[in-house]
Amino acid sequence: MRPWNPPAPVKVAARFPIRFAVALALACTIAALAAVPSGAASHEHGDALGDSQGRLDLAGASFTQDGPTLTITIRTAHPIPAGARPGGSRGTLCVNVAWGSPDVVRRRLCVIGRGGAWLLHDNVISPTSGRITARHTRHRIVRQAGSRLTISAAPALLGLPIGLVHFNVRSTWNRGAACAATPPPDDGTATGAASTEGCPDALPDRGTFSARVWRAVAAGCTPGRGQVSNGPRGRKVVALTFDDGPSTYTPGILRTLSSLHARATFFQIGQQIPGQGAIERQILAAGNAIGNHTWSHASVAGGGSFARGQLSRTSSQIISTTGGYHPCVFRPPYGATSGALVSVSGALGMTSVIWDVDTNDWQLPGTAAVISRAVGGTRPGSIVLMHDGGGPRAGTAAAVGPIVRQLRAKGYSFVTVPELLGLGTRWRLSKS
Ligand code: ZN
């Protein structure tokens, strides 16, 4: 156990000096600790200016989660010039993170200015020895604008758990008259969080501030319209799609996708959804998308009120079973489409989605054929048609892993259809 401060003598609220407590009361956004139904939460803390003589005098910090992205913002009293960037012997600027016990640091995120770029040293700290046991160098997640530094990433990339975490920002500055005669610490070897070397600053001055890391669950996407057969061809991304579920094959396909960190889109038949809430939530929790595939797999190419009824009933079922996910993509059964149908789906906020790679897996050609058709047919921006329902789908289920591995080896990454089409995802933050 290696506390970053002497143990607090009394309860948490009393650990902070009065000045900080006032700032906390004024600035702390209650939303961060309450149940948050919307997709964003934030927590803001200030620090007195001039309490450090160094160039890295801290002015404030905030902790914000917007959907799946966590942003830690650190404000300094003065803009950080290129010559005063932390890292190496000039100084350090790190965020200590604890969970479980607020006194035990488990992660130390240090921003490093190197050349013209910023990077993050994500140090894994042993909770028993306090020593660094591993370090991951992350690029392109630290940004600076004047006196504002941000670290933006998915919580999992920073190694943070879902739940309550405790933060503490520390800086030291080792140059200039007031701070010069001090040994240069290195962010990688300093194990104690509180440095007495150089000109230090801390935020909060003592103890930690707390914030919650939420699980981001997709709540829907930006309404779409029109019809597409593929996405933009400029990037090596592909959207795998599965029609005619949910079915008994869906959980196995989900497990395969999750184990490979790949996402897909499930175009579902409305009448099969009641009672499948667990599968629906699992689909969304893993970052996949749900699309509308009519209520009874009817041909709705004639448009009009029949199509409208089939589509709106299915969207309502998806919304009620998932607890609020509004689909923004629709796939016409049999690919049977028309201008009249596209206007019906558009009026309901959904882009009609065909495909440009057909595995014809419903004809049961065998796993090898499904794999070779999916992998061989895919181009940048492709939409691949497969089925997780409507018949025996073991062959398709067995093909999913090889398809993902082979396309990934060719440089493809996997996106949902809403992502492929640039239809932004709306998020809900969940406590667990
Ligand atoms: Zn179908």
Tell me which residues have their CB within 5 A of the ion that is ligand 1.
243-244, 333
Beta strands in 197-300 (DSSP E): 199-203, 209-213, 215-221, 227-228, 237-245, 265-268, 289-292
Please tell me which of 21-25, 193-197, 408-412 the model is most confident about, judged by mean pLDDT: 408-412
- Assign 3-state DSSP to the chain and report helix, strand, coil percentages, each to 5: 25, 30, 40
Q: How far is the CA of 222 from the centre of ligand 1 (A)?
A: 24
For residue 38, the model assigns a pLDDT of: 62
> What distance in angstroms lies between residue 336's CA and the mean position of ligand 1's atoms?
10
Q: Peptide bond before 246: cis, by omega within 30 degrees of 0?
A: yes
Q: In angstroms, what is the span from residue 224 Cα to ligand 1's centroid?
A: 20
How far, in Å, CA of 130 to CA of 202, rounded?
Answer: 19
pLDDT band, very low/low/confident/very high, at 115 (cuts 50, 70, 90):
confident
Residue 244 CA, ligand 1 centroid: distance in Å? 5
Instruction: State the pLDDT confidence band at 32, using cuts at 50, 70 and 90.
Output: very low
Among 20-24, 77-81, 143-147, 196-200, the range scoring the smallest mean pLDDT is: 20-24
At residue 8 the predicted structure's pLDDT band, cuts being 50, 70 and 90, is very low
| Residue 281 backbone phi and psi in degrees, to 5 | -65, -35
pLDDT of residue 180: 62
Cα–Cα distances (Å) from 293 to 251, 268, 360, in that order, read 19, 5, 17
Model pLDDT for residues 176-231, shown as the tens digit of each residue: 777 764 444 444 444 443 344 688 899 998 889 999 999 888 888 889 899 999 99
pLDDT for residue 91 is more than 90: no
What is the per-residue pLDDT across 265-306, written as a single tens digit (0 to 9) for each? 999 999 999 999 999 999 998 889 999 999 999 999 999 999
What per-residue confidence (pLDDT) applies to 197? 64
- Catalytic residue IDs: 243, 387
Q: What average pLDDT does the structure give for the chain?
A: 85
- Overall pTM > 0.75: no
Across 89-114, average pLDDT = 91
pLDDT, greater one: 15 or 181: 181
